[in-house]
Amino acid sequence: MGNTQLAAIWRRLKPTALALVVPLLLLAFWQVATTQRWTLLIPTPWQVAEYMVDFAKGGIYDDAYSATLVTHLLASMSRVYGGFALAAAFALPIGLLIGRIPTARMLLDPFLQLMRPIPVTAWLPLSMILFGLGAKSAFALVCLGAFYPILLNTVFGVRSVDPKLFEAASMLGCKGNAQFFKVVLPAATPSIFTGLRLGLGLAWFVIVVGEMTGVPQGLGAVIMDARTLSRTDLVICGMIVIGVAGYLSDRVVVAIGNRLLRWSPTHNA
Amino acid sequence: MRELPIIDIKGVSKVFKLQDQTINALSDANLTIGKGEFICLIGASGCGKSTLLRIMAGFEQPTAGEALMWGKPIEAPEPSRGMVFQDYALFPWLSVRDNIGFGPTSRGLSSGEVKATVDKFVELVGLGKFANAYPHQLSGGMKQRVAIARVLANDAELVLMDEPFGALDAMTRERLQDELLDIWQRTGLTVVFVTHSIEEAIFLAGRVVVMTPGPGRIESDNALTLPRPRDVSSPEFNDIRRVLGGKLHSHHSKVASAPAVAV
């Protein structure tokens, strides 16, 4: 095999290879730390892997969590995507209003900025009082987590439209409200899209808090239950599933974005 | 009765207020433009040439005086007056075709009519191969061609150009100057072209309006009779350049009187 061929293969594999370096180092450190008994409270990678198989398919331990991964994953996904959709349904119109109408900005912006620093965790007790124990609270908390990135990026997108484009549109005969659909919305799509992507990421990020509301199923619920049962292997399995699911969901969003935003030179992630 | 001029600028002044400062961008400008003329506005930055152009476009209203088109006050931007911006101002999310079709679509033409119009103007500016490309995939020269086609596709009778070739390299600029003259001669458009290059103004214009800053005003209005195509290296061209150069700089240093030529 020639050198040029080798170089070509390396170019193809390089991104994957580099991406694996840090996880593999971490895994090696984990292996050493647990087999050398630096800590007794964390299971070895192998134990976790074995438990993951049981969590997914059963047949090894056959306890209450065997073969329940899909059930919990689907429960969490319904809350993540449901809460995210709810957040988008509120944040997009409010963001467009704040971005376009000064009165709406003066009315809503100070209040929303005041609420923004309050973490989702802090809302947990109130949410349980307002929406009760269970799924409604989980939706509300996930929605809250995804709301602000969508809102802020929508406002930013709408407000940072190049003023020249309005002049260009009006001299071409597109005036008044027609400009909203033909200039503002398309010009703001890259920002709006960034907001949606961040929002979905945050929806996964807050899923554990969202499922502290006493729901029986869900990856967050599993992690909280496993914690009280001191089942660290199960905790780590739940973490890994959330990480992978969140990652895959982000890749899908990025693929959609690259397709819809082909025209945007800055949007090819 | 004389024919109405397409543009009539009567005693137009423009004052901008920036916090506690007032800036006299344009002071008592008078200018009459006949249909089919090619006018260049030239001057240093701050001379009000862009302000005057924006008033003609309807983007700005005069503080005093009046700006008329066919005898009627210019109150807002309109498709009959198309603007070509220095930084193109194309819609980045639309392909070349759709950028050119933006005006016809906004005017409510049927999709068949829009398509026919777009086809015609894509060809006119030689962008057939790039019809489906997005602006960020085009060179500066190609973007400016799209911007010109976009204005022409909308039936503009007056084309206002704000240093349209200022950001282009010299070769591309010369080609676009030739193409613009060609389009102007074939279509009978009226063109008002802002530039800070004396060569560009003399190469293109039928009349060169020299403007000076502080406050922005029209210094002189010079009709050029040099036959086209004009040779930038000819002695006649250079004589005109010397005279106009003198007028351009007259506000800060009185240039030793240039030899009188019939400009």
Of the three residues B156, B183, B216, the one that is the final residue of a domain is B156
Cβ within 8 Å, pair A167-B77:
yes
Check whether B263 has a pLDDT greater than 80: no
Q: Does A260 contact B at CB distance below 8 Å?
A: no
**With contact defined as beta carbons under 8 Å apart, do B218 and B209 qualify?**
yes
pLDDT tens for B178-237 read 999 999 999 889 999 999 999 999 999 999 999 999 889 999 999 999 999 899 999 999
B256 has a pLDDT exceeding 60: no
- Answer yes or no: is A172 within a domain: yes
For residues A110 and A32, membership in a common domain is answered with no
Percentage of residues in chain A having pLDDT higher than 90: 87
**Residues A244, A71: Cα–Cα separation, whole Å:** 16
Query: Do residues B119 and B166 share a domain?
Result: no
Q: Say whether both B176 and B208 belong to one domain.
A: yes
Q: Are residues A192 and A150 in the same domain?
A: yes
Percentage of chain A modeled with pLDDT above 70? 99
CA neighbor of B127 nearest in space, from B157, B152, B110: B152
Q: Is the pLDDT of residue A88 over 80?
A: yes
Taking contacts as CB-CB distances below 8 angstroms, the residues of chain B near A172 are 79, 82, 102-103, 106, 150-151, 154
pLDDT of residue A1: 60
pLDDT at B257 over 80: no
Across the A:B interface, residue pairs with CB atoms under 8 Å apart total: 74
The pLDDT score that the predictor gives to residue A14 is: 94
Rounded to an integer, what distance in angstroms lies between the CA atom of residue B243 and that of residue B150? 36
Q: Are residues A22 and A107 in the same domain?
A: no
Model pLDDT, residue B177: 95
Per-residue confidence (pLDDT) for residue A268, from 0 to 100: 56
Domain final residue, candidates B156, B174, B196: B156
Same domain, A24 and A120: no
On whether both A5 and A126 belong to a single domain, the answer is no
The confidence band for B2, taking pLDDT boundaries of 50, 70 and 90, is low
**Are A120 and A27 in a shared domain?**
no
* 3-class secondary-structure state, position B44: coil
**Is the per-residue pLDDT at B259 higher than 50?**
no
DSSP string, chain A: --HHHHHHHHHHHHHHHHHHHHHHHHHHHHHHHHHTTS-SSS--HHHHHHHHHHHHH-SSS-STTTT-HHHHHHHHHHHHHHHHHHHHHHHHHHHHHHHH-HHHHHHHHHHHHHHTTS-HHHHHHHHHHHH-SSHHHHHHHHHHHHHHHHHHHHHHHHHTS-HHHHHHHHHTT--TTHHIIIIIHHHHHHHHHHHHHHHHHHHHHTHHHHTTSS-SSSHHHHHHHHHHTT-HHHHHHHHHHHHHHHHHHHHHHHHHHHHHTTT-TT---
Same domain for B163 and B220?
yes
| pLDDT(B21) > 70 | yes
Considering the domain architecture, whether residues A10 and A97 belong to the same structural domain is answered as: no
Closest CA to B159 of B135, B194, B131, B127: B194
Q: How deeply is B175 buried, as exposed, middle or buried, from its count of CB atoms within 10 A (0-12, 13-18, 19+)?
A: middle
Region for B39 from its dihedrals, namely left if φ exceeds 0, alpha if ψ lies in -120 to 50, beta otherwise? beta
**Domain annotation covers residue A269:** no
Query: What is the ipTM for the molecules in this complex?
Result: 0.89
A196 with A255, same domain: the answer is: yes
pLDDT at B157 over 80: yes
B13, B23 contact by CB (below 8 A): no
Residue B263 CA to residue B250 CA, distance in Å, equals: 17
Shared domain check, A18 and A73: no
Beta strands, E only, chain B? 7-18, 21-33, 38-42, 64-69, 72-73, 81-84, 158-162, 190-195, 207-212, 217-223
Residue B93: which residues within 8 A CB-CB, separation 6 or more?
A186, A187, A189, A263, A264, B134
Shared-domain flag, residues B186 and B150: no
Q: Are residues B197 and B150 in the same domain?
A: no
Q: B206 burial class (0-12, 13-18, 19+ CB within 10 angstroms)?
A: middle
Residue A188 confidence (pLDDT): 96
Pairing between β-strand B217-223 and β-strand B207-212 as defined by DSSP bridges: antiparallel
* CATH number of the domain within which B261 lies: 3.40.50.300
Per residue in B158-174, pLDDT (tens digit) is 999 999 999 899 999 99
Q: Is A250 within a domain?
A: yes
Over range A61-70, report the average pLDDT: 92
CB B146 within 8 A of CB B96: yes
Q: Show the domain range for B181.
A: 1-80+158-263
Residue contact B82–A173, C-beta within 8 A:
no
Mean pLDDT of chain A: 93
Residue B97: predicted pLDDT: 97
The DSSP code for B23 is E
- How far, in Å, CA of B258 to CA of A261, rounded? 57
A59 and A9, same structural domain? Answer: no
| A51 and A158 assigned to the same domain | yes
The residue among B183, B180, B178, B220 whose CA lies nearest residue B47 is B220
B108 and B206 inside one domain: no
Residues A47 and A172 in one domain: yes
Query: Mean pLDDT of all residues in chain B?
Result: 91
pLDDT tier at A134 (50, 70, 90 boundaries)?
A: confident
Convert the pLDDT of each residue in A20-64 to its tens digit: 999 999 999 999 999 998 888 899 999 999 999 999 999 888 889
Q: Does residue A12 form part of some domain?
A: yes
Domain total in chain A: 2
Q: Which domain holds residue A5?
A: 1-42
In a domain, A237, yes or no: yes
Q: Are residues B95 and B211 in the same domain?
A: no
Q: What is the CATH number of the domain that holds A80?
A: 1.10.3720.10
Q: Number of folded domains in chain B?
A: 2
Name every chain B residue with its beta carbon within 8 A of the beta carbon of A171.
57-59, 77-79, 81-83, 151
Residues B63 and B180 occupy one common structural domain: yes
Q: Locate the chain A residue with the closest alpha carbon to B102.
A: A172
Cα–Cα nearest to A195, from A78, A268, A87: A87
Does residue B113 sit in the same domain as residue B242?
no
Summarize pLDDT for A135-182 with one digit per residue, the tens: 899 999 999 999 999 999 999 999 999 999 999 999 999 998 999 999
A111, part of any domain = yes
pTM of the model: 0.87
What mean pLDDT comes out for the span B68-92? 95
pLDDT, tens digit, 9 for 90 and up, residues B44-66? 888 999 999 999 999 999 999 99
> Which of B156, B183, B204 is the C-terminal boundary of a domain?
B156
Cα–Cα distance measured from residue A83 to residue A141, given in angstroms and rounded to the nearest whole number = 8
Contact B89 A167 (CB under 8 A): yes
Contacts of A162 in chain B (CB under 8 A): 89
* Contact residues for A98 (Cβ-Cβ < 8 A; gap 6+): A104, A105, A108, A109, A112, A151, A155
Which residue of B lies nearest to A164 if distances are taken between CA atoms?
B89
A173/B103 touch (CB, cutoff 8 Å), yes or no: yes
Considering the domain architecture, whether residues B3 and B97 belong to the same structural domain is answered as no
Across the interface, of A162, A172, A265, the residue whose CB is closest to B102 is A172
Q: Locate tokens 């001299």: which residue?
A: A171
Indicate whether B245 and B205 sit together in one domain: yes
CB B158 within 8 A of CB B192: yes
> In the prediction, which pLDDT does B41 show?
97
Model confidence at B253: pLDDT above 70: no
- At A2, the pLDDT band (50, 70, 90 cuts) reads confident
DSSP assignment letter at B61: -
**What are the tens digits of pLDDT across the range A101-117?**
999 999 999 999 999 99
Residue A267 in any domain: the answer is no
**CB contact (8 A) between residue B77 and residue A171:** yes
CB contact under 8 A, B77 and A174: no
Inform me whether the pLDDT recorded for B30 exceeds 60.
yes
Q: Are residues B140 and B208 in the same domain?
A: no
Query: How far does the CA of residue A119 sit from the closest CA of chain B (Å)?
Result: 37
